[in-house]
Chains A and B, each alone.
Chain A
């Protein structure tokens, strides 16, 4: 940011006084031209549909009756919130976010700590443990669906062999187990992301801090508490916030693993909404769910930023 000043000064010095405005407006045109494609695409195909979606959430917009679209106030919201599935979907979303996030953070943090010091083959090791992050949620759901298979699944087999259970568990046919199963798949997927972020933060800690702490007689554990943790806290807080938002909006694994089943017992807001768009065709209600998600996230973000003072810590 400091770096662009010289250019501006130079163009001013080079240009004769009369041409100054011309030069400046030429840079302005250049800036606009370069940003135009990005701005155009994003406004037309992201912001416009979003705005339209918010409007739709107040209309009786169904595909069966497109000629009779009118504003119906909060009816869509009332219908969504009072529908019998809603409490379940809300609870599932909460479990999905909180449990996934907790274990992703815990494992990701442990992994990053262990990977911090160099060891032979770390490059290859990293390529393997970080790979799940590059996979599609759809395929992850499919793979875990096969592993959780009641009859021929490897997870039941391992549990039986180790003597932890006596009879195979129909993981994906039982609502409670199914929710646990999709969360496990999600944890598998998300550990890498936390590990990547925390590892990057760990590697930016200056070595002198540890030397100073060691001189003051701090042990390994104390160094961790008084140097490592405070230093990477801002990164962790920002990453957690981003992940909460992202996990809540991530339907792919559930979509391919259980498709919200059995009997709607693994729906979270995101999959519930997609179900409504693809099969229900009640776009008004679907959009209302979307608006509810955003309101929840907005409230959460405001609360989180206030509680953690993350905006001071991170470059956010």
Chain B
């Protein structure tokens, strides 16, 4: 039995270690590539640690492109869209969690089904709509479409968070003369802050990462988000891997920080939202 236990433990360490290596290695590889000189990147045998650490690739990406503009655009779009989403999802989620009313099932179903239908069927019509609204090639189009894409899932997650908070709290506040809406914002929202933050960060990261809609709607230099700009670079025949790896690292850093910051809540929210629906 003891021997058995020992085997089990060693096996577990090995498996856990392999998963860690598998998960980390690509990130490690892109980071050290970004720190190698141009020559070293394209020389054999390839090195597993930069012979000389250099930040030239990071300077290069700002020299050959308006990378600061793309960062700003990505940031602005993600911030605006996820803020709007959180407010809308909070109101919707609250109502779905607290009231029973006619059509509630249909509303829930309507939200859930959007998660299953590929948005692509709507791509061509959306393009035509955006063009008629004269917002192609503007950040507004992305803010709008990201908000729309995130509303259903975030509303469902939020309603899950509300369900976990006892109604007694707002009842007490309403007995004391608060209106429902002020009870919501004064009593419930403060308790829900971690959940709200997690939803916000989830939405932010989704916007920050989105590629397809952005490629469809944007091709003007001044309004490109990071993925759109990088996509234009990798469509060329020769990819400048030094500059591209630096750009990759730069655009992953915000995600990494946000993820590290609230990974626990995110994971919780996700499991709630996706399993319970």
Contact = CB atoms under 8 A, between A and B. Distances in A.
A301 B270 CA distance: 22
Interface of B: 12, 15-16, 19-20, 22-24, 26-27, 29-30, 33, 41-46, 88-89, 91-92, 94-96, 98-101, 107, 110-111, 114-129, 144-145, 147-149, 151-152, 155, 163, 166-167, 171, 180-181, 205, 208-212, 215-216, 227, 230-231, 234-235, 241, 244-245, 248, 251-252, 255-256, 258-260, 263-264, 266-268, 270-271, 274-277
Contacts of B255: 134-136
Contacts of A289: 120
Taking chain A's interface residues, is the majority helix, strand, or loop, or is none over half, making it mixed? helix
A292 to B, nearest CB: 10
14 contacts: A7-B171, A27-B99, A50-B125, A127-B259, A128-B20, A131-B23, A135-B252, A138-B209, A139-B252, A140-B26, A146-B33, A277-B127, A287-B125, A293-B118
B117 A294 contact: yes
B118 A4 contact: no
Interface residues of A, number: 99
Given A1-B100, A138-B227, A188-B26, A53 B122 contact: yes
Taking chain B's interface residues, is the majority helix, strand, or loop, or is none over half, making it mixed? helix
A238 B118 CA distance: 18
Contact of B211 (A49, A197, A252): A252
Contacts of A37: 88, 91-92
A38 B107 CA distance: 10
Contacts of A3: 98, 163, 166-167
Nearest to B208: A136
B180 A30 contact: yes
A98 interface: no
Nearest to A243: B274
A290 B89 contact: no
A297 B121 CA distance: 13
A267 to B, nearest CB: 13
Nearest to A14: B175
A92 B44 CA distance: 34
Nearest to B111: A42
A132 B30 CA distance: 13
Contacts of A128: 20, 23-24
A34 B275 contact: no
A198 B30 CA distance: 29
B35 to A, nearest CB: 14
A294 to B, nearest CB: 6
Contacts of B88: 37-38, 41
B152 to A, nearest CB: 6
Nearest to B98: A4
Interface string A24-42: 0001101101110111011
A274 B212 contact: yes
B116 A297 contact: yes
A223 interface: no
A6 to B, nearest CB: 7
